[in-house]
Amino acid sequence: MNLFNVYPLYNITPVKALNCKIIDKNGVEYLDLYGGHGVISIGHTHPEYVSKLKNQLDNIGFYSNAIQNPLQVELAEKLGKLSGLKDYSLFLCSSGAEANENALKLASFHNGKSRVIAFDNSFHGRTSAAVAATDNKKIVAPINAQQVVTFLPLNNIELVEAELKKGDVTCVIIEGIQGVGGLDEGTTEFFQALEKVCAKYDVVLILDEVQSGYGRSGKFFAHQHHNIKADIISLAKGMGNGFPIGGILISPKFTASYGLLGTTFGGSHLACAAGIAVLEVIDKEKLMANVNEVYTYFLKAIKAVPEVVKVKGKGLMLGAEFAFDVSELRKKLIIEKHIFTGNANNKNLLRILPPLTIKKTDIDTFIVALKETLAELK
């Protein structure tokens, strides 16, 4: 049987990984500034994470959400403490798309409406609010036929309010910082006005923090840079450091009832063990402080590279924008310099989204390699 061929692949086969390093089947070592697309938060194969997962697997890996699982309670408590959102509740699932699907459903159940407002260039997974970018064409893919998605430009509150006034909008879904779309983000003024208009028209504000959450922006959630409160926050990626786990944080204005949401795999013992290990390491190793320190260092270094026209993003969710398509640059960095970086729908953007454990010396390695490669491409 062949694999359904939807991913263009580099000819590299990783077989081992350690913190910010990946080793391929030929023993070649790579610096990971990509983190499997922002998934690796506490570093590959972190010893505490590995031992927690192994121990858990020796005991019980999975049972059922119909039976008590104290690990879910422990995870929720730790997450509430570290994010500062102790009064929110947690519903666990297994991926970012599933988190957003549940957020959209919950919004509709809450206010009985169905139209969704999302933003140009946003990405919310393969969900009702999905826009898949293929060769820069937008394919709007509604899964639930009743759910219509209206896309608006970021940072235009008048256009948002004009739609909310129509009375049929259930929710606005917005990323803390746009990931796949290319690191555009709402201004503080926009986020604060959005919070107000959503409350005014009984519209649920969903913050998609699947990529920008879990400390990546330098605060636990990127929207916390703007001093706003979301009604629902969706999570995944960094939450499990590679173990598939996702969830939504739900504000106290929602009331739970039996059967309202549900999942088979979400919140398994093994997933919770991974999630707890991640939170413990983020806390113990003060990884958010590291994010902010490395961010300041990176900014200074990257701004000194003359070919960089703009730096986008926050913390360790960063992009260097060039005046040309970076595909060749990215390829040379991987193949010749052995450094993984990320891409975006914006073809001129080279993305940096490493494990949150990255060190300044790794940034030095990257900057030297970048300068050399840019010189070769001239």
Summarize as ranges the residues that interact with ligand PLP (CB under 6 A). 37, 95-97, 100, 123-125, 175, 179-180, 208, 210-211, 236
Comparing CB distances to ligand PLP, the nearer of 124 and 332 is 124
Residue nearest to ligand PLP (CB): 96
Give, as one character, the DSSP assignment of residue 111: H
Nearest to 38 by CA among 327, 367, 342: 342
Q: Residue 107 class from Cβ within 10 Å (0-12 exposed, 13-18 middle, 19+ buried)?
A: buried
Per-state percent for the chain, helix, strand, coil, to nearest 5: 35, 20, 45
Q: Take residue 204 and report the two structure tokens written for it.
A: 């649920």
CB 174 within 8 A of CB 129: no
Give, as one character, the DSSP assignment of residue 364: H
Comparing CB distances to ligand PLP, the nearer of 38 and 362 is 38
Least Å distance between CB 247 and ligand PLP?
11
Least Å distance between CB 245 and ligand PLP?
10
Least Å distance between CB 346 and ligand PLP?
14
Least Å distance between CB 125 and ligand PLP?
3
Query: Using CA atoms, how far apart are residues 194 and 156, in angstroms rounded to an integer?
Result: 10
Q: Take residue 70 and report the two structure tokens written for it.
A: 């104290």
Comparing CB distances to ligand PLP, the nearer of 163 and 208 is 208
Comparing CB distances to ligand PLP, the nearer of 83 and 373 is 83
Comparing CB distances to ligand PLP, the nearer of 222 and 370 is 222
Least Å distance between CB 373 and ligand PLP?
26
Tell me the helices (H) and strands (E) count for the chain, helix number first.
10, 16
Comparing CB distances to ligand PLP, the nearer of 232 and 363 is 232
Comparing CB distances to ligand PLP, the nearer of 33 and 370 is 33
201-226 CB burial, b ≥16 within 10 A, e <16:
bebbbbbbbbbbbbbbbbbbbbbbbb
Least Å distance between CB 216 and ligand PLP?
11
Residues forming beta bridges with residue 206, ordered by sequence position: 173, 232
Query: Using CA atoms, how far apart are residues 343 and 341, in angstroms rounded to an integer?
Result: 7
Least Å distance between CB 282 and ligand PLP?
19
